[in-house]
Amino acid sequence: MKARAVVLLGAPGAGKGTQARELSRRLSIPQISTGDILRDAVRRQTLLGLQAKAKMEAGELVPDEVVCGIVEERISQPDNEKGFILDGFPRTLAQAEFLARVLRARGQGEPQVLNLGVDRDILLKRLTGRRICTTCGEIYNIYLNPPRQDEVCDKDGTKLLRRADDNEESIRHRLAAYENETQPLIDYYRRQNLLREVDGSRPPEAVSRDVVSSLRRA
Ligand code: AMP
């Protein structure tokens, strides 16, 4: 597979983070997750974190200028020369157009876009059951993929946490933001013939196989 920009599209809970992590390992190219970068900024209480915190906890999108700035800065780092995987970006039409301009300026051409499709009832189960290890980043689900010991990471024994925005109210807003702002990107990329659909409702290993073969075929 040659160097390229891969975009993972999908609703909150579709498995973008899980798939991006696995793909990053397989292709040895970085995963760029705007959500992770923002959460880290919130934890460290940087100016960016302070700007983003309220929006994130409410399940609303952080303004385009802020997120585009993060991505442009991250893409320009040297570890992206072989390519990169965008997880959670773009999320609006303005962000997608921005990305197209940045890629053109880098001579990198069109992104490869995979849409992870998942039904709403599965999304809700994944979001309400999600637990994260803050030490190693492993993602569990108390219904679908529970740790061996309740609420504790199998790998390093860290107590698992629920994301601040994985509560009912925020989840409702995040799904609405997805439907209003992000879903139109499916058509945007389909019209450009850049979109590939992957059924994201199956277990992660099965989805991962499809993700890799979709990219190989492209
Ligand atoms: P995620 O981890 O991708 O689910 O993102 C968590 C939260 O970070 C989102 O609900 C937004 O508040 C914010 N966020 C992440 N990526 C973006 C983006 N591309 N545009 C706007 N807000 C974002």
Place of tokens 């880098």: 106
What is the best residue among 61, 73, 130 to mutate for testing ligand 1's pocket, by most ligand atoms within 8 Å of CB? 61
Cα of 9 from ligand 1 centre, angstroms? 12
| CA pair distance 81, 30, nearest whole angstrom | 10
Using only the alpha carbons of the chain, give its radius of gyration.
17
Atom of ligand 1 nearest to the CA of 36: 2
The atom number, within ligand 1, closest to the CA of 60 reads: 12
Query: What amino acid is encoded at 187 in this protein?
Result: D
Structure confidence at residue 3 (pLDDT)? 52
Place of tokens 């209003």: 180
Residues with a CB atom less than 6 Å from ligand 1: 12, 34-35, 38, 55-56, 59-62, 67, 88-89, 91, 95, 165, 174
Question: Would the pTM of this model clear 0.85, i.e. be above it?
Answer: yes
pLDDT, tens only, 196-215: 999 999 999 999 999 999 99
Q: What is the pLDDT of residues 39-70, one digit of tens each?
A: 999 999 999 999 999 999 999 999 999 999 99
Name the residues annotated as catalytic. Answer: 16, 91, 130, 163, 174
Of 48, 91, 170, 180, best ligand 1 pocket probe by most atoms within 8 Å of the beta carbon = 91
| Ligand 1 centroid – CA 7 distance (Å) | 14
The total of other beta-carbon atoms located within 10 Å of residue 153's CB is 21
| DSSP class per residue in 27-70 | HT--EEEHHHHHHHHHHHT-HHHHHHHHHHHHTPPPPHHHHHHH
pLDDT in tens, 77-130: 989 888 999 999 999 999 999 999 999 998 888 999 999 999 999 999 999 999
